[in-house]
């Protein structure tokens, strides 16, 4: 694996963990663990999958950065994080990924969370 690729992956990983600091504590813990697991799981993938993996996580980081900035500017409103997952994207997922997504949703929607996840197409804030 080229050094430039390793450096790019590490920088993205660190950036995401830094961005998670803007999340509520329980969502941060959940997100940090998920990111660590996913980056570990994708260490030895082929070039095409590595490219898609990085694109998706870079898009996630960009959305999270934007939402963190918007939330910091609107300090009087409840913080809002997240985005709807378009149904057509689900068709690209493998069965294993659907299972991981289901587990993540179950963990994220446990009672006594500081945030809520709804079935709507648009995040509720």
Asked whether the predicted pLDDT for residue 87 surpasses 60, the reply is yes
93 domain residue, yes or no: yes
| Residues making up the chain, counted from first to last | 125
Residue 119: per-residue pLDDT: 44
The domain total for the chain is: 1
Residues 43/5, Cβ–Cβ less than 8 Å: no
Residue 105: per-residue pLDDT: 81
119 domain residue, yes or no: no
Residue 70: per-residue pLDDT: 87
103 domain residue, yes or no: yes
114 domain residue, yes or no: no
Which phi and psi (to 5°) does residue 47 adopt? -60, -40
| Residue 26 confidence class, pLDDT cut points 50, 70, 90 | confident
113 domain residue, yes or no: no
Calpha distance 83→62 (Å, rounded): 12
Structural domain boundaries enclosing 71: 3-108
Asked whether the predicted pLDDT for residue 85 surpasses 50, the reply is yes
Q: Which of 38-42, 51-55, 99-103, 113-117 has the lowest mean pLDDT?
A: 113-117
Asked whether the predicted pLDDT for residue 120 surpasses 70, the reply is no
pTM of the model: 0.75
118 domain residue, yes or no: no
């Amino acid at each position: 694996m080229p050094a430039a690729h390793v450096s790019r992956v590490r920088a993205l990983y660190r950036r995401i963990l830094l961005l998670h600091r803007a999340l509520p504590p329980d969502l941060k813990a959940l997100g940090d663990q998920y990111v660590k697991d996913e980056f570990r799981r994708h260490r030895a993938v082929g070039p095409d999958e590595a490219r898609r993996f990085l694109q998706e996580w870079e898009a996630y980081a960009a959305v999270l950065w934007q939402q963190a900035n918007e939330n910091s500017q609107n300090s009087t409103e409840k913080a809002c994080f997240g985005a709807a997952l378009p149904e057509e994207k689900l068709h690209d997922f493998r069965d294993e990924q659907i299972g991981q997504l289901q587990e993540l949703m179950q963990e994220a929607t446990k009672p006594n969370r500081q945030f809520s996840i709804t079935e709507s197409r648009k995040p509720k804030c």
